[in-house]
Amino acid sequence: MTEFCSLKKLIPYIAIVCAMLIWAGAGIAVKHALVVFPPLTLIVLRFTLAVILMFIIGVIFRRNEILGLQRVERQHLPLFLVGGILQPFLYFILETYTYQSFTSPTIAEALLSTQPILAPIFAFLLLREQVTRYNIIGILISTAGMLLLLLTSANSFSIGNPWGILLAILTVSCSVGYSVVLRRIPTQYSSLTIVFYVQSISLILFYLLWGGEQLFNPTPFINTDVLSIQDAANPILSIIYLALFASVAAFILFCFTVRYIGVTRANIFNNVRPVFTAILMFTIFSEQLPISKWIGIIVIVIGIFISQKQIKK
**pLDDT for 256-298, tens place per residue?**
999 989 998 899 998 888 888 888 878 877 777 788 888 888 8
- Taking only the tens place, the pLDDT of each residue in 160-173 is 577 888 888 899 99
Find, among 144, 155, 156, 157, the residue nearest to 296 by Cα.
144
In the chain, the percentage of residues whose pLDDT exceeds 70 is 88
The reported pLDDT for the residue numbered 241 is 93
Q: For residues 23 and 33, is the Cβ–Cβ distance under 8 A?
A: no
Residue 310 pLDDT class (50, 70, 90 cuts):
low
Q: Is the pLDDT of residue 129 over 70?
A: yes
Q: For residues 245 and 59, is the Cβ–Cβ distance under 8 A?
A: no
Query: Quick check: bond before 290 cis, omega within 30?
Result: no
Q: What's the first-to-final CA gap in the chain, in angstroms?
A: 22
The reported pLDDT for the residue numbered 113 is 80
Burial of 86 (0-12, 13-18, 19+ CB in 10 A): buried
Domain boundaries, the chain: 15-63+76-215+232-307
pTM here? Answer: 0.87
Residue 96 pLDDT class (50, 70, 90 cuts):
confident
Q: Is the pLDDT of residue 38 over 80?
A: yes
Give the C-alpha separation, 188 to 282, whole Å.
Answer: 42
Q: Tell me what the mean pLDDT of segment 15-34 comes to.
A: 88
Q: Tell me what the mean pLDDT of segment 128-157 comes to.
A: 79
Give the C-alpha separation, 21 to 17, whole Å.
Answer: 6
The reported pLDDT for the residue numbered 157 is 47
Residue 4 pLDDT class (50, 70, 90 cuts):
very low
DSSP annotation of 246: I
Q: Tell me what the mean pLDDT of segment 45-67 comes to.
A: 90
The reported pLDDT for the residue numbered 158 is 52
Q: What is Dmax (Cα atoms) for the chain?
A: 64
* % helix, strand, coil for the chain, step of 5: 75, 0, 25
The reported pLDDT for the residue numbered 88 is 92
Q: For residues 150 and 106, is the Cβ–Cβ distance under 8 A?
A: yes
Chain centre to alpha carbon of residue 232: 26
CA dihedral 241, 242, 248, 251 (to 10 degrees): 130
Find, among 123, 169, 137, the residue nearest to 266 by Cα.
123
The reported pLDDT for the residue numbered 3 is 45
